[in-house]
Amino acid sequence: MRPSGFRFHLDFASGALFRHILSIFRSGRASAISSNLASSVKQTGIQVIATNRQARHRYVLTDTYEAGIVLTGSEVKSLREAKVQLTDAWASIDAGEAWMHGMHIAAYSHSQLHSGHFAVRDRKLLLHRNQIDRIGMKLKVERLSLVPTKLYFLDGKVKVELAVGKGKNVGDKREDIKRRDSERDAARDIANARRRSD
Each residue of 20-75: pLDDT tens digit? 665 655 655 544 444 444 444 455 689 999 999 888 888 999 899 999 999 998 89
Residue 107 identity: A
40 and 132 in contact (C-beta within 8 Å)?
no
More confident residue, 157 or 22: 157
Helices (H) and strands (E) in the chain, counts: 6, 9
- Model pLDDT, residue 99: 97
Number of Cβ within 10 Å of residue 107's Cβ equals 18
68 and 91 in contact (C-beta within 8 Å)?
no
58 and 166 in contact (C-beta within 8 Å)?
no
- Residue 102 DSSP one-character state: S
167 and 90 in contact (C-beta within 8 Å)?
no
More confident residue, 65 or 6: 65
Identify any residues that bridge with 32 across adjacent strands, giving them in sequence order.
none
Give percent helix, percent strand, percent coil of the chain, each to the nearest 5: 45, 30, 25
Is residue 142 predicted with pLDDT exceeding 70? yes
Please state the pTM of the whole predicted model: 0.62
More confident residue, 79 or 8: 79
